[in-house]
Every structure is written in structure tokens, then in C-alpha cells.
Structure 1
Amino acid sequence: MSKACNGADLTNCDRGAHLQRAAIQPFGFLLTVSADWRIVRASANLEQFLGVGCEQVLRQPLSGIIMSRTLHSIRNRLTVIRGPVMIERLSGIAFAEGGPIFDVALHCIEGGIVIEAEPSQREGQGGSTLSMAAMMARIDQAQTLEAFFRESARQARGITGFDRVMVYRFDDEGSGEIVAEAARSGIGSLLGLHFPATDIAAEERAFYARNLFRITADVDAAPVPVVPELDAHGRAIDLSLSLLRVAPSAHIDHLKDLGVGASFSVPIVVDGRLWGLFACHHYAARLLPVERRLTAELFAQMFASRLQTRECRLALEFETGARKVVERLLAAVADNIGLPDDPALLAEVLAGAVPADGIGVWIDGRTALSGLAPSQQQFSALIDTLNRKVSGHVFATDRVAELWPEAELNGDVAGLMGISTSQPPRDYIVFFRQEMLRTVHWAGGSPGPAEHDADSHALTFHKSFQAWSDLMRGRSLPFSAAQRHVAETIGVALQAISRLTG
């Protein structure tokens, strides 16, 4: 076999985008064929699986290495592909009469078709021990969102058999949080840890949103080059939909630092956005059978559907609660027409309308402050700043010190949401939130497994958590869109009351 087939320069493969890495994992092989069904690319390990070298098949018809009925099956399956991100599969097929049995995945790229194959792993007992309906019933029984996440992690671990399965949630800026986990005993807990957006870059998150899963069967396995690396036009192969693709070297190094031998990640896509991942770690090499990968994909999709339903229900409950606050406010005004001019009573009525650590009310220079709040002098300066710099009914920020360093609020106040109660703005209700780091708790204590390179594992997670902590200094939990909508409703109601009673 030539030098081209035996190796390739993989030292600069990432180039900031792993889809440019012309290499696959060694547990399968890859072929790319042109529109006229000639082989234009092949993985360097082709001979190991089909008994023919990659250079021998390049520019040859695919029919030369695949028997006719298998080629017919592939052609038929390709006819159902719709759109650029669809993958079709064939299970238990042979490329040659009497040859080994493979599971095959097919997808289209610009100017060609990618065929990936790996030896079939038929499990005697099939996939997971529970039916999908039973698994869904288990998670549907969860009363709270936390219990829903926790039970889902348990079910995902039952499907995959990995040592640790985490439900990993992204925030609006791409930072991540482990909101649930299921792990074998003796490896510690990572529940509640947060990680900066740089741990999974925006490019990687976009990749997850359009792909079914990412699998790394063995972090120590040498990548297998796909040759030629560049086509006649100087383009690298697009492996963004490849099931055998090699993860970026930085990600592999990260897994090694954690003592992880294999990983499997399935995206959780809610309403078209990447909500998070089922992230699975194993502390030895592990190749998940295709059956179980498909089950995990389906479970993630069903989980996402259930999650969307729960989030909609929670938003509706929150909106209903907001309407009750407004109704309570109107009733209180009916009983006491002077309420809108009484900061203390107004603060009492509105406490709890929006999740916050403190509240402040300013009405024509008179104030009421409760809970976590700035001093009277600081609050007065803040109202001046709001009147000078804010337009509209509602303003919210999770980093007030960064936005308005001149506000000089006390260090405990990191975020605020101000609601204008008069027109033009001069009177405000302000909800305050403390620094996010004060609300973070490690459910499992200090992370780090008792076995397999515990010190390295703990150090790596602490390093990521510290990086996130450094980014979060002086920032609060952000106010959600639903919470801002509630604030708008309160502001409009108070302005209407002000006009009626004025």
C-alpha cells in the first residue's frame, strides 16, 4: 500500500473546524462515490474490511467491490433521502457473497454520496431491557423538572451502559451545566457543575444541532485517513454528517485528561434549538452497538418532545401566576385607592411576581426596599441612571456593574429588572438578583472519581468550573423572556391604574 494510503498529515486537521479533518475512527470504513457511481475517496483501512486496498479502488466503479443486490439496496435507500442532512441506514448487509455482515449509513454531500460501514454487532437480547413506551412512562411520572432530568439520565444509562450519563444544558450564551447524572458507584458526582462556552465552542454546538450523535469508541485509537485528502478542486471532504468522523484533537485531549476512554453524545434539540446533550462517558474503550445508538437517538428525540411540553406548561403556569398578581394588584387598589402611591404596600403586593432576591419601589422620590437591595443612596442614583439611559417599559440586565459601573451598587447585587410605572418613565419597580455564583451548589460534593486517575479528572473539572466562575463574577441568573413579559404586564397595569387614579 502506498504512502498516501498508509498515512496523512493529521497534525493540523482541526483548523478550527473538525469537518475538515479527513480522517475516521478505525472501527469502520468509508467510501465516497461520484454521481456516476465511481469511487472517488476511500479510507486507508479498506483492505482490513474488504480485502482490497484503497488505491486499487479509486476511480473504479463501485460495482467492482459490491455485489449487485447490495448495490441495488443502496441505490433504493438513497431514493428516500430528502434534504442535505438526512442519513439513511441499512442493517446486516454483505458487500460480497459469503462475506462479513455490515451495518451501513448513507448520506449525500456536494457532488457525491458517502457510504460508511462497520461490522454488525447483533445483540442476543436486542437493545435496552425496557421498551420505549416503558421508558417514557418512567420519565412522565416525574413530578418536577429536576426529577424529570434525573430519571431521563437513568434511562439513558440503561440504554448505553456507559459509566456516567449526564444531562448537559446550554444557556443562551453557550455555557453548560450538568443538571442531572446517572453514574456507577465509586466515580464521584459532577452534578451541578458549570462550564464555560469555550468548553464546547459555538461551531461544535452548531454541529451538534444538525447531527444525530457523536461517538468516540476509543480515545487512544489512531485516526484513519481518508484519501485523497483533497479532491481535484482542492476541497477537503465534508465529514460533518459522518458517523465515523474523528472528534477534534482538543476534544480527544479533554477526554484523556478526564480519564475517559470512550464517549457518546446525543443532542437534545427543542423547538429547533440545541437545548443540550446526553453526554455519556466510559472509563475504558467502548463501541456502542448500532441498535443501542438508534435507541438512544429515539429516546433523545422523545425526551426533547416531553421537555418542550413541560417548558410550555411551566411558562403557562408562570403567566397564570403573573395574571393573578395583576388581579391581586387591581383588587388591592379597589380596596385602597392610595396603593399605587405607597411604595411599601406596592412592594409587598408584588413580591414574588418575578423570581428575585430583593425588590425596590420608587414613587416620586419615596422608596421601599426589601430583601437583597442597594442602599437608599445607591437606589436613588440607580433610578437617575434608569431615567437617563432606558426607554420602554422594562429593562433587564444580568451584569449591572459591567453595564453601569457608575451605579456603584453593593457587591451582592449583580442583576436587576426595572419596570417603569409612569409615563414618561420616572417611577420604577426594580427586582434585584444576587451574583450567580452564590446560587450554585455542588450536589455531589467535590468532583473526582475514586478510581481511574482521580486526581487528573478532578483537576480538569475544577479547572473548567473555575474558568466558568471567573466569567460569572458579578453576573446574576438572567431574566427570562417569560419573566420580562410578566414585567411588561405589571408595568402596563400600573400605568393604567396611575391614569385612572391620577
Structure 2
Amino acid sequence: MNPDNQEAFEELLANCADEPIRFPGAIQPHGVLLMLSEPDFVIRQVSANVLQLMGHDPDRLLGKTLDALFGLEQAEAILVACRAAPESDNVPVAIVVNQLRFDALVHRHQGALIVELEQHLSDYRPEGVSGEANMGRMLQRLQSAKTLQALYEISVREIQAMTGYDRVLIYRFEEEGHGQVIAEASAPSMELYKGLFFPASDIPEQARELYRTNWLRIIPHADYAPVPLVPELRPDTGAPLDLSFATLRSVSPIHRQYMKNMGVLSSMSISLMEGERLWGLISCGNREPLLVPHEMRMACQTIGQVLSLQISAMEALELTRQRDAKLANLKVLAAAMAESTHNVFDGLSHEPQRLMDLADACGVAILEDNKLHRHGQCPEPEQIRELHKWILETGQPVFAHHNLGSIFSPAQAYQEVASGVLAIHLPKPVENGVLWFRPEVKQTLQWSGDPQKPLDLENSETGLRLRPRTSFEIWKVEMAGISTKWTHGDLFAANDLRRSALENDLARQVHKERLAVQARDELVAVVSHDLRSPMTVISMLCGMMQKAFSSDGSHSSKRISSAIDTMQQATSRMNALLEDLLDTSKIDAGRYTINPQPIAVSQIFEDAFSLLSPLAIAKAIDMSFQAEPDLKINADPERLFQVLSNLIGNAIKFTPQKGRVGISAMSVGNEIVFSVRDTGEGITAEQLPHVFDRYWTIKEGNPNGTGLGLYISRGIVQAHGGKLHAESQPGKGSEFTFTVPKID
């Protein structure tokens, strides 16, 4: 093809892909189509052949009601069908016009009420057998099929016997887009297509979408002249009429030429669905024109629906069988991962044959950090690592492909051992993964014609135009770099193994963290215990030394006395820090315990006042305590006092001279709400969510605190079944509130 023709071909091909097959603006000539407006049921569009078939001028019918065409009685019968619920059975209405019998069918789409009148064929009974009897026999046979292939063979034989088509075949769509004929019933004179592949371009994507939404399509005579609609566009919208669900819809001229090139003039196709997915087609063809009556077509549509359900059910059973066949190996491999002393994939490395059997692979590679285990037929280590890195970049936790070299060019160098790969990996920073390999299986696919030339160019009166291929001779193509496909069972096994690996890996991490927490708690307990004794000794010695060196003595005595004071303060601070570390460790581990008992709130307030009032007096702070009379709580006295003293101490610390600190307790429902308010500098909105974090005060530049006080206070309150909450406004002060259960 010369460059100019090639450019024209590409342009025409693009136009073909965008061909408005839903809006052809015309119908097939074996019937008449009307578009009515609602609710007046006035004719707004009509096919031009209403003149030839019914003797009425199409232009004069526009704006008229149905009785102008059918008479009052027949028009009312059609209107009854129009008013019926959409989900009701679409039974044809028998109509006689100009001494010709028609079957009238009604449907709505895109806001249009469409009435189709198809010529009635009352004497259509192939081989003298009634359609109803054939339907009952066919359903019975379909249900008796034990395998999918038997189901296909029964379907094509029965539909051919019932309809009289020269050829009936089942065409299944493959993942790659092309299709294969998997069952066929043909007259002796017909060319056989069973087993042949047809390229995806034979049924363009827009046609497949129409097949997905519309169960049945029929072309009684491919060599027809399309009948235009009058007017061409809808008067109400100015757009073409959508004929997606119209039986009479005119089809693409390229498709009609395709039919004639195949040697058939009549066709019918029935969709086979798997859920919402177009699984395949029942395709019927006849050398001579053939119009199958509506009731016979509905019987075939029912067969397609039943066959779709049977296919889905039997494929579901097959998937279950595939899964069940993997369970024994999965159980053993899960146990191997759980029992491994190192990591989960190390456990798999001890079961290489079982791992290969799991996915019917000829080789397997296991990566765990810097280690690589290879078993069976595998690429070289560097090639595996390069492939694994590329798979990680795809972002797919489970990756599968049976033609690896087509998407990852370096794999072409080792396609003899690894044309197919199935791989899993875990979301960890270290390199890890399992890769199964399948070797190249050279196969010869038999195509119906050259798959690379589904369309060609031809000269016409209007210039170059697309022409469907004219040759359907067997075209053999040898396929290289392809392995057997990974089945649903293989993918299930890979996903399940990865799930087990994740669970085992997570369990190991949790166990390690628990051991780490336990070791930390034990270390803190030991260190705290071992440090208490020397701290006590140091404190006692400091007291004894303090008596020996008076601050009123000589200059050197004063210096020694000051140093001893500093040592005592540091020892006290160290003891407090040890206590805080012990409490923090218990809170973190969820082992913080309290000893609740009935206590009076007034007593707690008296103790807090006695301890903390000197600090408030030193800063001239007005500190007040208010509590409802006779309040009693169920709490650990020592721990609750620890919370109050921490909150009040912080309030005094961060409140300037002559400020105010107020402490209150009041009953709210079944709880006592304690509040500590101050007029201090407050806490910024950015810092407020973090005040209960460990070491917060240290992070905020407060060198005098351990940063654990509020964290421990919250843990104590939560151990009592309450909550500790903080509110603050910079420059206006803060309020900390906590709750404790009340005793009536």
C-alpha cells in the first residue's frame, strides 16, 4: 500500500471505529418504524417504506395519531401495549394494513416511544415441529449437559434444528480481544469454522457494547437498501433517533459486505453474558435470505439467557474445583512459613517442589533480602532480580502474564524457560518475593484469514472506501514466547499464599514488638529497683553531711552545704523520674493497676491544699478549692492525688505572679467532674493536641519537667474509667478537666 493510501486507510479506519451504529437514520426494509410523542401519541417520525408496505404517504402521516394509519380499533390495541409497564412481556400486537399482516412491537428509549411493525410469517415451522415443543426439549437437554463443551454442542444443534439456519456457532471472546469458534452445527455445504480464531476487529468495540446491552440482533437479507426515516432527525431534539433496541435497525454497510464475503445473506446473533460482561455470541448464518418470526426469535433469546446462566454456573463450579485442588498445598506451605525461625519466605525455600506444584510451574525463585533461591527451570539470578524490580514498579502485589516478552523486552532473552511469570511480594522495605516460571509453549493458531488484514481499501464512485476482507481461508500463525495461561486457580493460590505470608509476617512483627516491650519493661523495673537503694543511701548521706557542714559556718562550709543541697535535689528528682518511668512502662504495656476505694473529695482537696499552697503563696497566686458538699468517689487515693497535684502544680508553675488558680469538683450524672483552671500564659492551638504526649514539656523547652506528668495523669484517669481533657487560649489561661465514677 502506497503512503497516500496508507494515510487514507488509517483515516477511514478511525472513522469506522466511530461509526454511529446506534443512530443509522434508517431501518431494514422488512418492516415499518414509527416514533411517537407522548402523551398525545402523535406520529413524529416514520420510515419511508410506509408507502410501499401500507399505502400511506409518510409526510402526510406526520402529526397524525395512530388511527389515521390503523383505524380506531387497531390503534387502541397498540396504545394498550404502549401504556403497559416496561417490565411486562413485550407481546406483539397483530395488525392488518393494506391486506398485509404485521406484528407490532413497542419500546421506549432515550425519551422516544418507538413502534415497529414487522411483516408476519404465520407458516414458519421448520420440519413441521412447533417452536413450543422444541423449546421444552431444548431446555431439558441444556439442563442435562454435564460439561461446558456438551452444553455448547447441544445449544448449536438445537437452535439450528429449530430455526433452519445453515450454520449456528458459538463464538467466545478471549482476554486479548479476539474470538474463537468453540462449537458449530452446519449444513454439509457450509465451510467449517470450529476451532478458528477471528481478529478483534471483526467485531469492533462499539458493536460489542451494543451486543452487551441488547440480547438479539437479526438481518433477514444483507443485500438490502436502507430505508430512511422521515424526517431524518427527531423534531423534539434535533438529534438522530437512537435505534439501539430496535429490531429493524439498519446495520453498517461494512458488516453487510462482511456477511456476503462469508457467503451468507441472513444472520442472527444472540448475546451470551457472564454477569455484565459479554462472554460470547451464538451466531447464526444462512446462504439465502431468511426471516425468523418474532416468537421463534424470543425462544432463541431465552435459550441464550438460559445458556448464559448455565455457562456462569458451570464455570463457577470449575473455579471452585480449581481452588479446592490448591488447598492441600496451601495448608502445608502456610505451616512452613509459620514454623520458619527466620522469615516467611525462608520457610517456603524448604518446600520448592510443593511450591512449584501449587502453580503448575516448571521453576520458582524466592527472594528474601540478599538471598535468592532458585529451583527448577529459572532465568539467571541477575535476570530474576531485574524482572522482580520491574514487577515492583507495576504496583501489582500479584502479577501474572503468559507472554512476558511482549511487555518486558529483556524477558525475550530467556523466553524458553520463562515466557510466563506469576509473582507475589510483601510490602516490606527489604527485597522479597516469589516468582513462578512457565516455559515457552510454541503453538500454531489457525485464523480465519489473515489477522493482520481484517479490512482493506477499494475504489468506489465516491473515492476510496473500506472493504472487509474477502478471504476466510485458514491462516496459520506460529506463536512464540507464550506459555500456558495462568488459571483462576493459580491466581487464587498466589493471592492466598500472599495472604498467609502477610499474616505470618505480621504475627512475627507483633511477637518481636511484644518481646521488645517486655524486655524494656523488665529493664526499667530492674534499673529502677537497683537505683532506688543507692539513691536512698545518697539521700541519707547528704542528710548526715548537712548536719556536719552548717550554712552559717566558714566560706568553705557554706560551699559544701550548698553542694549537698544540690545533691539532695538531684536525688529527689532522680527518684521522681524513676517512679515516672515505671508508671509510663506500665501504661504503655496496658498493665497499669489501681486500688479504688471510697474517698471524700473534701479530704483530697485538703491534702492538695496543704502540699501546694506554699508554692502558690510564694508567687502570690490566689488558689481556691470548691466542691459540692458530701461528694464521694471510688478511686485510688494515692493515684488520684498524683493527678491533682500534677495538674495544680503545672497551673501554679505556668501562672504569673498574682494570678489565679481554681480547683473545683461537681457531680454530673454518674461521674464527678474535676476542673483545674488557671490564668496563665495558655497553650497554642498547634501545641494543645500534643500536651498528653510523652516528653511533651521537654520538647517545648521546659527543662524542669520530665515530660511524663500529663501522660501518666491521663493513664491514671483512664485506668479509673474516666477521661482527661484540656482546653486553652493563649494569654487567657488553661483548663484541665477529668472524670471519676461517683458513689451515691
TM range (shorter): 0.7 to 0.9
In structure 1, C-alpha distance between the alignment counterparts of 2:246 and 2:234, rounded to whole Å: 18
Aligned residue in 2 for 1:9 = none
Residue by residue over 1:56-75, the C-alpha shift from the partner in whole angstroms, topping out at 9 and shown as x without a partner, is: 31222221111222222222
In structure 2, C-alpha distance between the alignment counterparts of 1:498 and 1:235, rounded to whole Å: 61
Contact 2:261–2:470 (CA<8 Å) still a contact in 1? no
In structure 1, C-alpha distance between the alignment counterparts of 2:24 and 2:484, rounded to whole Å: 38
In structure 2, C-alpha distance between the alignment counterparts of 1:307 and 1:193, rounded to whole Å: 21
SS at match of 1:88: coil
Residue by residue over 1:411-461, the C-alpha shift from the partner in whole angstroms, topping out at 9 and shown as x without a partner, is: 34433211237955634332334568x45655xx9889xxxxxxx998236
1:418 paired to 2:423: yes
Letter in 2 for 1:94: V
Unaligned runs of 5+ in 1: 1-11, 449-455
1:132 shift after superposition: 3.1
More helix by share: 2
Q: What is the aligned residue count?
A: 469
Letter in 2 for 1:92: A
1:473 shift after superposition: 6.8
In structure 2, C-alpha distance between the alignment counterparts of 1:179 and 1:75, rounded to whole Å: 44
Aligned residue in 2 for 1:94 = 96
Contact 2:401–2:420 (CA<8 Å) still a contact in 1? yes
Letter in 1 for 2:195: G
The alpha-carbon distance between structure 1 residues 417 and 94, as it changes in their structure 2 partners (threshold 3 A), is: same
1:294 shift after superposition: 1.0
In structure 2, C-alpha distance between the alignment counterparts of 1:346 and 1:308, rounded to whole Å: 36
Aligned residue runs from structure 1 range 75-114, under 5 A: 75-82=79-86, 88-95=90-97, 99-114=99-114
Contact 1:25–1:223 (CA<8 Å) still a contact in 2? yes
TM-score by length of 2: 0.56
In structure 2, C-alpha distance between the alignment counterparts of 1:270 and 1:250, rounded to whole Å: 28
SS at match of 1:324: helix
SS at match of 2:278: strand
Using the aligned pairs only, state the percent identity: 25
Aligned residue in 1 for 2:715 = none
1:302 shift after superposition: 0.7
Contact 1:30–1:117 (CA<8 Å) still a contact in 2? yes
Aligned residue in 2 for 1:176 = 179
Aligned residue in 2 for 1:3 = none
1:193 paired to 2:196: yes
1:150 paired to 2:157: no
1:403 shift after superposition: 3.2
In structure 1, C-alpha distance between the alignment counterparts of 2:308 and 2:163, rounded to whole Å: 18
Aligned residue in 1 for 2:283 = 279
Aligned residue in 1 for 2:374 = 368
The alpha-carbon distance between structure 1 residues 64 and 353, as it changes in their structure 2 partners (threshold 3 A), is: same
Contact 2:322–2:488 (CA<8 Å) still a contact in 1? no
The alpha-carbon distance between structure 1 residues 178 and 458, as it changes in their structure 2 partners (threshold 3 A), is: farther
1:491 paired to 2:498: yes
Aligned residue runs from structure 1 range 58-457, under 5 A: 58-82=62-86, 88-95=90-97, 99-122=99-122, 123=124, 125=128, 127-128=130-131, 130-172=133-175, 174-232=177-235, 233-330=237-334, 341=346, 346-354=351-359, 358-364=362-368, 365-370=371-376, 373-375=378-380, 378-386=383-391, 389=393, 391=395, 393-412=397-416, 413-420=418-425, 423-424=428-429, 426-433=431-438, 438-439=442-443
In structure 1, C-alpha distance between the alignment counterparts of 2:242 and 2:196, rounded to whole Å: 34
Contact 1:22–1:225 (CA<8 Å) still a contact in 2? yes
Contact 1:219–1:256 (CA<8 Å) still a contact in 2? yes
SS at match of 2:105: strand
Aligned residue runs from structure 1 range 43-54, under 5 A: 43-54=47-58
SS at match of 1:18: coil
1:33 paired to 2:36: yes
1:20 paired to 2:16: no
TM-score by length of 1: 0.81
SS at match of 1:361: strand
Letter in 1 for 2:106: L
Unaligned runs of 5+ in 2: 1-14, 451-467, 510-744
The alpha-carbon distance between structure 1 residues 488 and 132, as it changes in their structure 2 partners (threshold 3 A), is: same
SS at match of 2:139: helix
In structure 2, C-alpha distance between the alignment counterparts of 1:82 and 1:430, rounded to whole Å: 53
Contact 2:367–2:433 (CA<8 Å) still a contact in 1? yes
Larger radius of gyration: 2
SS at match of 2:158: helix
SS at match of 1:288: coil
In structure 1, C-alpha distance between the alignment counterparts of 2:244 and 2:395, rounded to whole Å: 44
In structure 1, C-alpha distance between the alignment counterparts of 2:399 and 2:413, rounded to whole Å: 17
Contact 1:421–1:429 (CA<8 Å) still a contact in 2? no
Contact 1:13–1:22 (CA<8 Å) still a contact in 2? no
- 1 or 2 for the larger relative contact order (CA 8 Å, sep ≥6)? 1
SS at match of 2:304: helix
1:347 shift after superposition: 3.2
SS at match of 1:362: strand
1:20 shift after superposition: 1.7
Q: Which moved more, 1:36-45 or 1:260-269?
A: 36-45
The alpha-carbon distance between structure 1 residues 394 and 270, as it changes in their structure 2 partners (threshold 3 A), is: closer
The alpha-carbon distance between structure 1 residues 58 and 495, as it changes in their structure 2 partners (threshold 3 A), is: closer
Q: What do you get for the CA RMSD once the two structures are aligned?
A: 3.6
Contact 2:448–2:473 (CA<8 Å) still a contact in 1? no
1:172 shift after superposition: 4.2
In structure 2, C-alpha distance between the alignment counterparts of 1:419 and 1:75, rounded to whole Å: 62
SS at match of 1:148: helix
Contact 1:319–1:486 (CA<8 Å) still a contact in 2? yes
Residue by residue over 1:171-208, the C-alpha shift from the partner in whole angstroms, topping out at 9 and shown as x without a partner, is: 34532222222222243321222233222111111111
